[in-house]
Chain A
């Protein structure tokens, strides 16, 4: 009896292993939802509301991919991850995709075996200090106590910055943004450092945001983007081209308001036709339906709409487009051609 159970377990395990080796696309279609890793809560990027619905700039990418693959932007289950747990969650297959303001670096791409499917926010590491300290430059921070989120590129940048400027500091490693906020507001650290967008988002939730200043120095390049595991190129292509579709849609003037209309019949612009599936077979080449991009855009609008709704200047977070404007407006956001 024992033996039977054992071999049964072995057989079951082997089958599961074989199943996992099949494409992520088939997995997602089979279970009927996308498992997406997001942060544990960063206003504007990914945060759950009182009803447990996730919303935000990073969450919108997950919803667009779910809409493109499954036709339903709500078919997403979210896994909150910390800076420390996110890579293990992705590498182990617990999540299908990670959209958690994660910096694209060489070692994460090559050594940790992940594929970044693009950049949805160009960022850099900044510092936030209380105005009453009277600090105007990061170089004045000699001897300061600095709160950092552990398991991120920021702690390496910080070490490099203080070493190259030959000044000392006291790092306080923190697991989540919420804890960092508590320590910073209580004065247990003088400075809070993370990506400038994250600082702006955190400051927006303070009682008196005006008592805190972001220092002018941006000490690193932090291209943030969604990522998937190495080795499943089809799945990586899907993620990459859904993101590009959102970006191209803004460039081509397709919004959540007019996407349905534009997708009804082929129009004059061949690129729009190819993007929305009224011409050519781009969706089929990806292994998706012809209207995948239409669904993705209908889910939350184009890149510009998503930006404006979650983190743009009209929101409490109030980030300007800056580097994240379309290339036609002098920014870095640029989608390769759909053809």
Chain B
């Protein structure tokens, strides 16, 4: 006697779509999908109809027209006769610049603060708690505006540097000027023979990596530890400086100088860039610090006890045992902090920093009146940047995560 119950042989009935458990979930999903598509279609149709009624059909031709406005900070050649598309590109590069600088600052600060928050020193640990809580719990826009206001109000204007009895003076042997319009630092000037110095410098960086590999192999083979840090430092500086002086100092410095209304020459870092980077970096560092703390606490206590039992110093325990394991927990939430920082950089216009929201989503949108088009492009650009960051970080995550066999 067979216990299997065969499905009824008589053909497929429509009511089975609802009452038969084999088809029901499929039916529900298809209905949901159709409704969703209808909803999207209705929204798109509505937008298209309303735009047509306003007499503004979707078109992207404005990207090729002359922009007509100037941008202060440009990493590529740009003037007001170039196109809106070019202005958007200048904005994208400014966004990327502040995002990269901010991420670096947030990571460095975040790791230090996260580790210090776990310190056994009561005062240090509490100070870090105060830092984290105060930065995490105040909106980033306020930090940005506050940083800029402090910058503008506390540093002297360039005109304070002028005259016989100037109230402000340049620091570091007259090479750096800190004004409320930004920071002017010397710019390297390359003379003939400078190529050799640069090549030597690049070679010594390669040398540091080669030395690192060799030293690790030697340590694995013999158990002896070299003073790696000092040797690497020496490789970094000595050959380059030697060549620099032997060739008669082929790299000079172009110092900023007060001419007319502003300092001229040197590298000019605008107040908006500095304030924005600082605010975003300090704010995100608070979140990164919490990720780092979580990552470190996720490493079982037995690991550090074992390391101490083996006689490793606390520093080595942190660097060799705890952090590599903690990284696996830290990286995934770190990705989303990087994405947050990049997206928060769109608040740049609060301090007059011309990022992509300021150029394409600001002046271009306003002058051409193409709201829909500009916002669509803007969203696509942020999406692309975010996906790029997360794919790079996921690739890094792959390389540090636990190899399971």
Is B366 within 8 A of A84, CB to CB? yes
CA distance A142 to B50 in the complex (A): 47
Chain B interface residue count, CB cutoff 8 Å, equals 46
B7 part of interface (Cβ distance < 8 Å):
no
CA distance A107 to B352 in the complex (A): 25
Cβ contact of B70, chosen from A6, A88, A159, A189, cutoff 8 A: A159
CA distance A162 to B70 in the complex (A): 10
Cβ contact of B159, chosen from A151, A162, A187, cutoff 8 A: A187
Contact with A along B187-219 (1 / 0, CB 8 A): 000000000000000000000000000000000
CA distance A20 to B162 in the complex (A): 60
A313 part of interface (Cβ distance < 8 Å):
no
A144 part of interface (Cβ distance < 8 Å):
yes
Is B69 within 8 A of A156, CB to CB? yes
Chain B residues within an 8 Å CB radius of A160? 68
CA distance A88 to B365 in the complex (A): 10
Is B371 within 8 A of A88, CB to CB? yes
Contact with B along A185-206 (1 / 0, CB 8 A): 0111110000000000000000
A112 part of interface (Cβ distance < 8 Å):
yes
Is A133 within 8 A of B159, CB to CB? yes
CA distance A190 to B260 in the complex (A): 11
Is A190 within 8 A of B349, CB to CB? no
Is B366 within 8 A of A83, CB to CB? yes
Q: Which segment of B92-100, B149-157, B332-340, B395-403 sits at the interface?
A: B149-157
Cβ contact of B358, chosen from A6, A144, A173, cutoff 8 A: A173
Count of A-B residue pairs with CB < 8 Å? 117
Interface size grouping (class) on chain A: 35 or more
Give the contacts of B48-81 with A (CB-CB under 8 A).
Answer: 50, 53-56, 68-72, 80-81
Given A112-B369, A170-B72, also A182-B354 (CB < 8 A): no
Give the contacts of B246-297 with A (CB-CB under 8 A).
Answer: 259-262, 264, 271-272
Chain B residues within an 8 Å CB radius of A230? 54-55
Is A145 within 8 A of B69, CB to CB? no
CA distance A133 to B352 in the complex (A): 24
Is A142 within 8 A of B262, CB to CB? no
Given A150-B358, A186-B153, A188-B152, also A143-B80 (CB < 8 A): no
B42 part of interface (Cβ distance < 8 Å):
yes
Give the contacts of B150-192 with A (CB-CB under 8 A).
Answer: 152-153, 156-160, 180-181
Chain B residues within an 8 Å CB radius of A17? 46, 50
A27 part of interface (Cβ distance < 8 Å):
no
A10 part of interface (Cβ distance < 8 Å):
yes
Cβ contact of B262, chosen from A84, A150, A170, cutoff 8 A: A170
Chain A residues within an 8 Å CB radius of B46? 13, 17
CA distance A91 to B371 in the complex (A): 10
Binding site for A on B (CB under 8 A): 35, 39, 42, 46, 50, 53-56, 68-72, 80-81, 149, 152-153, 156-160, 180-181, 259-262, 264, 271-272, 349-350, 352, 354, 358, 362-363, 365-369, 371
Other than the given A3-B35, A6-B35, A173-B362, 15 more pairs (CB < 8 A) read: A13-B46, A21-B53, A133-B261, A142-B260, A150-B349, A150-B363, A155-B363, A163-B80, A163-B81, A171-B69, A175-B350, A186-B152, A187-B160, A187-B180, A230-B54
A-B contact pairs, 5 of them (CB 8 A): A2-B35, A143-B264, A151-B366, A172-B352, A188-B157
